[in-house]
Amino acid sequence: VVRLEESGGGMVQPGGSLRLSCAASGFSFSAYWMYWVRQAPGKGLERVSSIKFDGLNLDYADSVKGRFTISRDNSKSTVYLQMNSLKSDDTAVYYCVRATSPWLRDYDVPLSRAYWGQGTQVTVSS
């Protein structure tokens, strides 16, 4: 059974930082692309960042480029999202998501919730 457990969310003032972690189990972590996906109140899903199974290919949504950094530690089966210079627009539930198939990057956000964590709330407010 795929398990993804996010942590590190909370409330922070604009300009502040948070680091999200996602501990994975139940599959061969080092064989899968991983994503961070967010959903703001009343808005759709946005894939914030992706990281290749070997950590050597990263990408970011334009909305977070230069402020967020994704990383992974395959020895710990954990993926991270360092978020700096946070804005009110970053307020959302953040989900850790596994790719659908090993070695392959999904074209869009995987729809099967079997590959999603439960989410962690990030609130940016003064």
pLDDT digits (tens, 9 = 90+) for 79-107: 999 999 999 999 999 999 999 999 999 98
- E strands, 55-119, where? 58-60, 68-73, 78-83, 92-98
Given a cut of 90, whether residue 16 has pLDDT beyond it is: yes
pLDDT digits (tens, 9 = 90+) for 54-65: 999 999 999 999
**pLDDT at residue 110, as a whole number:** 86
**pLDDT at residue 108, as a whole number:** 87
Mean pLDDT (the chain, rounded): 96
Q: 70 pairs with which residues across the strands?
A: 81
Q: Which residues, 6 or more positions from 68, have their beta carbon under 8 angstroms from its beta carbon?
A: 48, 49, 60, 81, 82, 83, 84
**pLDDT at residue 109, as a whole number:** 86
Given a cut of 90, whether residue 112 has pLDDT beyond it is: no
